[in-house]
Amino acid sequence: MSLVPKHPNKMNSSPWKSTDRNFKLVKDYAVKRGSFGIVYKAVSTLKPGHEYAIKQIGISAFATTIQSLLHNTNLTRSEKLSGGESWRDILQVLLNEINNHTLNTEFIVKSEMCWFEGVHEHIFNNLNEYCNGKYSTQVTIDCSESSGPCLDFLYIPMEWCDLDLKEWIGTNGKNINLTHLYFYWKNILEGLKELHRNNIIHRDIKPGNILLKRETTMGVPYKAKIGDFGLSTVMSDNKNNWQKCTVGTAKYMSPEMREGQGNYNEKTDIFSAGLTFLECLWVVKYGNFIQLETIFDELRNGQRIRFLVGAKEECLISSMCEVDFGCY
């Protein structure tokens, strides 16, 4: 994760108020801003040497963003929520990122017990129970200017990663070490294997959501992990239970996801992973992204790429990006 300063001055105190949280803000580091929150770098006071990325999400701001998308029929960043304005539905999106700590793999960015701070803190003492329907309370928050700022924040501690694959590609360009790239790609496929074994579809695999954590293995400086589960979904045990909502990043979508007319299952993640792998190899060979999206579209149309990045690599990518016509 790259870090950008929030203020010119150093931050000497943590943004969270709870005194019983065992995290200390790292000085000189402020934040990374994401779509729905701010990420702080912190260290554990109980586990010396353990670094964390603590995502702070302003619930009221998140709700406003979601509600503004509800009437948009061409959503690519967030799906429509069945409950409209209810907090239960909005927080379910957040829980997609919280609940991945139970997965048994080192190739997924793990999160730990989250906490909630704010004027409605008493309602969210057990966020999982609330979102699983064990509480029926519907929360209404007045966020008008007259009522002053809302003070509701969700904090999600996650393991700290040093950068993402997009940054790694941009920094190294044609100098990318292929041995390292293949190692990272094996990590990602192992992560996807565990997700799909648990009937989870990520739905937004792309370079920016593949995080690299400094951990030297066999001479390779990082370990790759899948992050950002905000758009993930859980399928039922019935593998024929297709999904229909169009979500994700358009550039890396499978054809069945992008068209928004067919059904899709976990294979959509494999297709997106194939496009991501191709992007890395393309930069190694050509040093730019020219014509890359055209190649992506050709793959979505069922065409095979030939002798552009290497025969063995193209065979792998073509198998990952095989169009599943059964979805239409």
On whether the CB atoms of residues 55 and 43 are closer than 8 A, the answer is: no
Rounded to a whole number of angstroms, the CA Rg of the chain reads 21
79 has a pLDDT exceeding 60: no
Mean pLDDT of 74-103: 51
CA 126, 131, 137, 141 torsion: positive or negative? positive
Cα separation of the two ends of the chain: 38
Which two structure tokens, joined as six digits, stand for 222?
Answer: 């990082």
Instruction: Give the predicted TM-score (pTM) of the model.
Output: 0.77
- Considering only CA atoms, which of 302, 296, 305 is closest in space to residue 273? 296
What are 122-169's pLDDT values in tens digits? 545 544 454 454 544 443 334 343 344 445 787 888 889 999 999 999
List the domains of the chain with CATH numbers.
23-159 (3.30.200.20), 163-327 (1.10.510.10)
Q: For residue 323, what pLDDT band results from cuts at 50, 70 and 90?
A: confident
Position 198 pLDDT exceeds 50? yes
Grouping H, G, I as helix, E, B as strand and the rest as coil, residue 72 is coil
Mean pLDDT of the chain: 74
